[in-house]
Amino acid sequence: MAVRQIRTIGDEILTKKCKPVRELTPRMAQLIEDMFETMYESDGVGLAAPQVGILKQIVVIDVEDENQYVLINPEIVEASGSQTDAEGCLSVPGKSGTVTRPDHVVVRCLNEKMEPVEYVGDGLLARCFCHEIDHLQGHLYVEKVEGELRDLEEEAEE
């Protein structure tokens, strides 16, 4: 396991579309382990492969609901409701912004064993699914922010 370097906004790789994963190679399994380690190291709740420089459709998520979600080739097949709340991203360090997302999302994807699965997310998990799947399309949450991006330190002092 290894912590990988997180690419930050301005890095072109974050604007590119990711390719689907066809087979789970040992390298890919290693990447998934490293993505979890990198995410935990930075206190994140989700990480997409392009954030560590790999243009593959792979996402890891842990919103502390006792699941470690691995999403390979994910697709949102159902979205409903709406939530407006603060959002951040490890690729946009020190910042936060208000984004409206669906409140309920169903994702169809492959898991870490390349088995087809469906994940249902509400609230934070739904937000996470949408945010991370956006990364795979080359989109950052800052494109969807309502109002200004805020500074995290300033917010903590208020």
Burial class (CB in 10 A: 0-12, 13-18, 19+), 146: exposed
CA 129, CA 146: separation in Å to the nearest integer? 19
**Cβ-based neighbours of 11, under 8 Å, separated by 6 or more:** 91
Which is catalytic among the residues 132, 143, 155, 157?
Answer: 132
Q: Does 124 bind Ni ion (CB under 5 A)?
A: no
Stretch that binds Ni ion, among 27-35, 89-97, 116-124, 142-150 (CB under 5 A): 89-97
Strands 83-87 and 95-101: antiparallel
Nearer to Ni ion, 58 or 89 (CB): 89
Q: List the one residue out of 95, 28, 88 whose CA is nearest residue 56.
A: 28
Q: Active site includes 33?
A: no
Q: Does 145 bind Ni ion (CB under 5 A)?
A: no
Nearer to Ni ion, 8 or 30 (CB): 8
Q: Does 89 bind Ni ion (CB under 5 A)?
A: yes
Q: Shortest distance, CB of residue 125 to Ni ion, whole angstroms?
A: 15
Nearer to Ni ion, 10 or 26 (CB): 10
Residue with tokens 């949450």: 141
Residues near Ni ion, by CB under 5 A: 89
Catalytic residues: 132
